[in-house]
Amino acid sequence: MVDHTRPITASVVGLATDIKWGQVLQTPHAYGVVEIHAPDGVARVRGVQLLTKLTNAFDAPPVSLAALSGLADAMMSEDVVSLILLVPVGTTLYLVSRGIGRVYLKRGNQLAKLLEGEQALSGDVRPKDTVIAATNGFIRALREEEIIGVFDHLTPSEVAEKLTICLHEHPGGEGGAALIFEVNSVEEEVPDESAEQAAKEIKVSVNVRRTIILTRMKAIGRKVMTASQRAGLRRAINRMRAHKAFSLRHVVIYAVLALFLVSVVLGIRRQMTMQSQAKFSEVLIQAQHSFDEGMALLDLNPVKGRERLTAARDLLAPVMQKKLRSEEGRKVQALYDDVVENLTRAMRVTNVSPELYFDMSLLKNGAQATDISLFEHTIGVLDAPGKTVYTLGIPTKNGTIVGGGESFSGGAHIAAYGDKLYIWTPQGIHQIRLSDQKTVSAIIPASPEWGTITDMASFGGNLYLLDTAKSRIWKYVATEKGFSTLFEYLNPDTLPDLTKTTNLAIDGSVWLGTTNGKIMRFTSGKENSYAPQGADIPLGNQLKVYAHDQAKMVYVLDSEHKRVVVFDKDGLYISQYVWDKPFAVTGIVVSEAIGKLLLLADGKIYAIDLK
């Protein structure tokens, strides 16, 4: 008659980093905790390797406390901060601690320290005894009063959940881990005296089945084979039996080799499975921690909250791609769904279907908008193929033809300011006065300094030209008689590469969209770096930016991801508008006053309501 300890176990694992990692070991014969400190940044790899070695070492339980101590010594290395091993043998518990760690015993309402540092002991346990084996990170972060305070007639899993939260909330708990080992009961196993008789019966049963199978195979052979074929098969079998390679001794050797190879393959597969499960468990713990932090921070600091939720999603995404069907896979799927749902809500992502706001062909047959510019409640619209210029009032949608003709051939850009529109052409910049619809041709003559003019904007009555060929921003200052001569906006010591810029917007600073995923900003002729942050998906490579002194926000048209992303002027993410409509957006203006975001696409103007 042999007594056996029936435990209930639970794990407490702190936040892992590149240099600190902790985990709980649970095998059929042994339990324990480890903590790794790897300054070279591979703590997780070292920890998984150690758990794999321990798992293989505990295929059979150790026979003595000395054997367990020797095993612990063999597993120690300079990276191992804490190693505690616990092996139940009958009603006796073997405990070995190496490095910095501590083992407590809770019996009733009393908590006593069993081990600390490098020690070993063994002793009997009783039902409802609870052993807490803790690593350095755990005991550094939590006091004994906090540990005993979370028990209060709770199950080990409930205790572990509370301790995990405490460990994550306290500084210094990185890499910490603890095992909760509760003795549920001590059961007796009575040897089965009829085992030998049962074995005999099984053997007889196997022989009977073998005879039945052989008889059936012979019957099938008589049906599908001729007498000569059956005779040939018997001769081949007899020759194989007579050959040395098929002697009983060789067959046994072949069988042993085959079993050995199968065991090797199964061992490798088991090791890979355990490594994979350890990795998934670690990812799940880290993602859960990031998710909990993000949800807690959303009201206090939305940007930080979104960052933590995004971190949780990015941790889970590679695991989701593996499409696991295990229990770990279901847990990952459930957490991933929660993260995505809450992240979408927190990111203020609005799925929209841009509605047609105005079709220029209503004013002129075949007309199409190729460039737009907004000043207060008036949009200036250039129809380059039609060599025509329009105005469109918002929100009234009153459209008017205000100019056009052959002098507008090659027109590419329009800028609105006050009661004037400016149209860039290769022959110069024309001015249209809206009060009397009078056109002043080439109010700014074409300059030999111009390279490739990619965009034009007006601010304070002055005109700015973006020249991507020469990486310059040309400026013309408004005067009583027209405009000054050309001069450079950028300071002489500011030499940015503007070859990848796409458009120009001004609110006092000059903003530039790019084709490399960046937003450029210049203030008083000097670069004033702008770093958008907090978006769930990084900005794409095709960007156009809209900023205005009457607008509080910065609007970024991200054509690659079919969206407009809204940031404040310090670069913090605010919201985004996403659409599925398959059209190419080439321009953007925004009126916060009337709550409209207007997009230029396919020669028409579309609108999105601001939220």
**Domains assigned to the chain:** 2-189 (3.60.40.10), 239-346 (1.20.58), 355-609 (2.120.10.30)
Residue-level pLDDT at 324: 66
Summarised one tens digit per residue, pLDDT across range 9-38 is 999 998 888 899 999 998 888 999 999 999
Sign of the dihedral defined by the CA atoms of residues 485, 490, 491, 496, in that order: negative
What pLDDT is recorded for position 565? 96
Confidence class of residue 279 from pLDDT cuts 50, 70 and 90? confident
Which pLDDT does position 607 carry in this prediction? 96
Q: Residue 217: which pLDDT band, with cuts at 50, 70 and 90?
A: low
Tokens of 284: 């799940």
Sole residue written with tokens 């998934």: 280
Q: What is the DSSP letter of 360?
A: G
Q: What is the pLDDT of residue 268?
A: 81
CB crowding 468-483: b at 16 or more within 10 Å, else e? beebbbbbbebeeeeb
Q: Is the pTM of this model over 0.85?
A: no
Top pLDDT among 251 and 358 is at 358
- Looking at residue 209, its pLDDT comes to 52
Residue ranges in 193-247 assigned as alpha helix (H): 195-224, 227-242
Residue 588's DSSP bridge partners are 599
- What integer pLDDT is reported at residue 205 of this predicted model? 46
| The pLDDT of residue 199 is above 90 | no
**Which position has the higher pLDDT, 50 or 109?**
50
Residue 1: per-residue pLDDT: 40
- So what's the pLDDT on residue 203? 45
pLDDT at 470 over 80: yes
pLDDT digits (tens, 9 = 90+) for 47-63: 988 988 998 888 877 87
**Dihedrals phi, psi of 42, to nearest 5 degrees:** -120, 40
More confident of the two residues 159 and 273: 159
Return the pLDDT at 201: 47
pLDDT band at 125 (very low <50, low <70, confident <90, very high): confident
pLDDT band at 466 (very low <50, low <70, confident <90, very high): very high
Question: Does position 316 have pLDDT exceeding 90, yes or no?
Answer: no
513-533 average pLDDT score: 94
Confidence of residue 204 (pLDDT cuts 50, 70, 90): very low
Work out the average pLDDT over 277-291. 81
**Mean pLDDT of all residues in the chain?**
86
Distance between alpha carbon 254 and the CA centroid of its chain, in Å?
Answer: 50
Query: In the block, which residue shows the tokens 């070292």?
Result: 46
Query: What pLDDT digit, counting tens, does each position of 581-592 carry?
Result: 888 999 999 999
Are 526 and 513 in contact by the 8 Å Cβ rule? The answer is no
Instruction: Please check whether residue 510 is in contact with residue 458, taking contact to mean a CB–CB distance below 8 angstroms.
Output: no
Distance, CA of 131 to CA of 113 (rounded, Å): 10
97-116 average pLDDT score: 88
Cα-atom radius of gyration of the chain, to the nearest Å?
39
For residue 111, what are its two tokens? 């908590």
Lowest mean pLDDT among 231-235, 307-311, 334-338, 359-363: 231-235
430, 390 contact by CB (below 8 A): no
- The model's confidence at residue 451, banded by pLDDT at 50, 70 and 90, is very high
The residues facing 163 across adjacent strands are none
- Displacement of CA 97 from its chain's centroid (Å): 37
DSSP 3-state assignment of 433?
Answer: strand
